[in-house]
Structure 1
């Protein structure tokens, strides 16, 4: 790899949670950072960073070409997370077509590293133990359009690495939490609601978690150590909603949330979904897919990332405290 200090790097999706933290860590590492943003993007997460801004869109190859020109590495963190859309066309355009455009331009311009922010939603289920990168996707019958779009994107990415020589590394990232969550993300918003006493109930589920700063660290380590065409699980502690939100509530002197059995949540979601469809309501958050995904992901084995990337994530209690302190300071109740 060339002397990275001599060339800029590009971060796409830099207004988002993963992208902004990746850009921040790159700046702190002394890199020359360029970001691709839509003119409509909320720039709160990067407005204090000394980065070069290129306005454009991953659906516009010309703007991608301008942004990527002369860059040694691309950190691709564009994702359309709107799993609740009734019309799922944007999910495929933004999550799949945009990535293909970026990969084509990266190959055209000779980019040396392409770090792709993927999702734990592309991993297969393992009923007999922790999930690893080697388990093929095996739950297409339960996959929502959002998951299918993320899976298609990752499959195209891996095929570009195999067949076209894209120097790419994929990171399968779990639910992210931490400070500087300006939007906030849905997960982060629920964390703050639990901590501040606004939320009273949570589902009886558990999920893998990761500190957003550790996700960004994994991206930089993948650029340095990742093997081309490989994917790495970027997930840390598997924790129940009860324990996760109990820690958060305790930090602000509030009682733990009451837990709703998953069977009741499924029934509520099924009823609500039927009513929404009957009255023609679109883009609703409460759905059977959402309830299913809230508890679909189990313990994940991050040993490959620890060994090959030299990645060492922090304890979840530290993440929760830092996130809650930041939300409190910024009064980021959604």
Structure 2
């Protein structure tokens, strides 16, 4: 939705541990090669808010990041309203109640210290992984470059 300029706003405060799929796959291989049986690892990249990740995406692509943020309470209230609206009329996916509810101030954070220490795993920085992903996505049909 970001590259197609269909992302009107971002949830305020939502943050994730962003990891490139190739790094996650590499962690799985390293775990099979080096981990002791029964050990568990968080395979996660560096923590960034959605707002920060989209600022980096804007620097990479030239596509403007959404200017507006919505606090979690506003998104949850809108989700409740949209639950009623979507029973009467078709609603685009990124305006549906479940989409709004799930994105309302969510954080998925973990520490990769154990994977780094025991497996020798190093995730790439957000900018590097995001650049590769966005350049690929911009080559797909229906996605315009800046």
User: CA separation in 2, counterparts of 1:329 and 1:267?
Assistant: 37
Q: How many pairs align?
A: 135
* 1:194 and 2:2 aligned: yes
| In the alignment, structure 1 residue 245 sits paired with structure 2 residue 54 | yes
Runs of 4 or more, structure 1, over 6 Å off, are: none
- TM-score norm. by structure 2 comes to 0.79
CA shift, 1:296, in A, is: 3.5
1:194/1:249 contact within 8 Å kept: no
Once the 2 structures are TM-superposed, how far is the Cα of residue 225 of structure 1 from its aligned partner?
0.7
Deviation at 1:274, TM superposition (A): 4.2
Distance 2:142 2:26 in 1: 25
For 1:227, the equivalent position in structure 2 comes to 36
Unmatched tracts of structure 2, length 5 or more: none
Structure possessing the higher relative contact order (Cα contacts under 8 Å, 6 or more residues apart): 2
2:42 and 2:112 in contact (8 A); partners too: yes
CA shift in 2, pair 1:331/1:319, >3 Å: farther
Q: Residue 290 of structure 1: which of 102, 105, 125 is its match? A: 102
Does 1:304 pair with 2:114?
yes
Q: Distance in 2 between matches of 1:326 and 1:332?
A: 13
Unaligned runs of 5+ in 1: 1-192
1:66-99 Cα distance to aligned partner (Å, 9 max, x none): xxxxxxxxxxxxxxxxxxxxxxxxxxxxxxxxxx
When Rg is computed on C-alpha atoms for both structures, the one with the higher figure is: 1
Give the structure with the larger strand fraction. 1
Equivalent residues of 1:195, 1:249 under 8 A apart: no
Deviation at 1:267, TM superposition (A): 0.5
What TM-score do the two structures reach when normalised by structure 1?
0.37
Q: CA RMSD in A?
A: 2.4
Counting only pairs closer than 5 Å after superposition, residues 88-107 of structure 1 correspond to structure 2 as none
CA distance in 1 between counterparts of 2:125 and 2:29 reads 20
Contact 1:245 1:256 in 2 (8 A): yes
Matches within 5 A, 1:162-241: 193-204=1-12, 205-241=14-50
